[in-house]
Amino acid sequence: MKFPKEFLLGASTAAHQVEGNNRYSDLWAQEQMEHSSFAEPSNDAVDHYHRYEEDIALLAGAGLNAYRFSIEWARVEPQEGCFDESELEHYRKVIRCCREHGVEPVVTLHHFSSPKWLIERGGWEAESTVDYFKRYAVKVVEALGDELHYICTINEANMGLQIAAISKRYMMQMQKAAAARAAAGQAESSVQMGMNLQKMLENRKAAAAESLALFGTENPQTFQTQRTPEGDLLIMRAHAAARDAIKAICPELKVGLTLSLHDLQPEPGCEALAAKEWAEEFTHYLPYIQNDDFLGVQNYTRTRIGPDGQLPMPEGAELTQMGYEFYPQALANVLRAVAKDFHGDLLITENGIGTGDDTRRVEFIRQALAGVQDCLAEGLPIKGYLHWSLLDNFEWQKGFSMTFGLIAVDRANGQTRHPKPSLAFLGSYAAD
């Protein structure tokens, strides 16, 4: 069954993962460290910075009508207070390329990577970041806002708390497990981004010395650092400040953020534990997002909850490259759970699967979209589905080993693009 014509059906990327050569960012600096926790550096990534026209044309050619991408803060403001107008013009060209192909651009202002100078000034635990982020948002919207309809301020604003939780769980597993690497695989699979906890622990002391030289602190507060409760709410205040400033400039522009959300499934008698986890993952943010126009929902799998918290994967479960359980039904369950408390529009900004078998991606999309269509039939205000990801790309600390894309990229042979059958399959759901 096809989606209505006004439904946004497309795919997502993040600047640092696809553009390449993001030299002024915190993650670029960390990738180059001798004792980096990154499996490999991003370097040219998949050169989307120069190939965006080809990539957007492939997306549109499959029948898709929406593309979510991020503007890289470190490009726009490489040094504190110094804005690069040529980079803003680059993103204007990306937006206009979308329009020329009948594609709705959905822009994210911050997708994990930050300017290195921001981290030197305290990063995502520093009060000053609220004003820095607001100033950046204003600059972008003053330049580009009249060409946009949707802006996500911050991607997965709850990521820092999730990382803190899995790090605690990982340490407990380390104490119990005979094989540390096996424990790492289980822990890392519960956060919806590519992490390398084992390498982080092994390199901790040496990396601290390098971080001191690079950032002026042994513990740089990047966006992916374990968040304190205060830092968690600081991120929400940065979002709210940016949202209000954006709406003052462009009142018609729809503004929201995105959250990483799991389908929490409690065993009998464990409902209270699941409710506590849902409060940490979602409901405690409600006061900060109640004035948003939409919520970006990002989901990849479920989490089963037992008396002691998260349960291991079910016996014989199909696992993805990231160690997630193959469970596309999770998306519809999360949408229903979110809609109970958030009454604005819902936009699925990420949902997908890391796999080398594209037939499994096709099946994942088939089941996930069946759930979305059920939710639409139930009256949920879902405005679009943006698959993760348009391209195989740089999966953060995991490097290039994880393949989430609808389009393969042969990085060894001129960065050539090879659309997978899943691209056309997703496009087959678009309105005629």
Compute how many other C-beta atoms are within 10 angstroms of the C-beta atom of residue 58.
Answer: 21
DSSP sequence for 377-404:
HTT--EEEEEEE-SB----GGGGGG---
Supply angle C-alpha 354, 358, 363, rounded to 5.
90
Catalytic annotation, residues? 156
- Looking only at the bridges linking them, the beta strands covering 382-388 and 407-410 are unpaired
Which residue type sits at 298?
Q
Instruction: Return d(Cα 240, Cα 237) in angstroms, integer.
Output: 5
Which residue type sits at 282?
F
Q: Contact at 8 Å (CB) between 264 and 299?
A: no
- Of 194, 191, 166, 196, nearest in space to 321 by CA: 194
Supply angle C-alpha 195, 196, 200, rounded to 5.
125
Q: Contact at 8 Å (CB) between 76 and 88?
A: yes
Instruction: Return d(Cα 93, Cα 99) in angstroms, integer.
Output: 10
Instruction: Return d(Cα 343, Cα 333) in angstroms, integer.
Output: 16
The DSSP secondary-structure symbol of 187 reads H
Burial per residue of 276-299, b for 16 or more beta-carbon CB atoms within 10 angstroms, e otherwise: ebbebbbebbeebbeebbbbbbbb
Terminal CA-CA length for the chain: 11
- Give the position of tokens 């930050």: 114
Compute how many other C-beta atoms are within 10 angstroms of the C-beta atom of residue 20.
Answer: 20
Helices (H), 315-432: 330-339, 358-377, 421-427
- Give the position of tokens 């990047």: 222
Q: Contact at 8 Å (CB) between 147 and 92?
A: yes
Burial class of 335 by CB neighbour count within 10 A (0 to 12, 13 to 18, 19+): buried
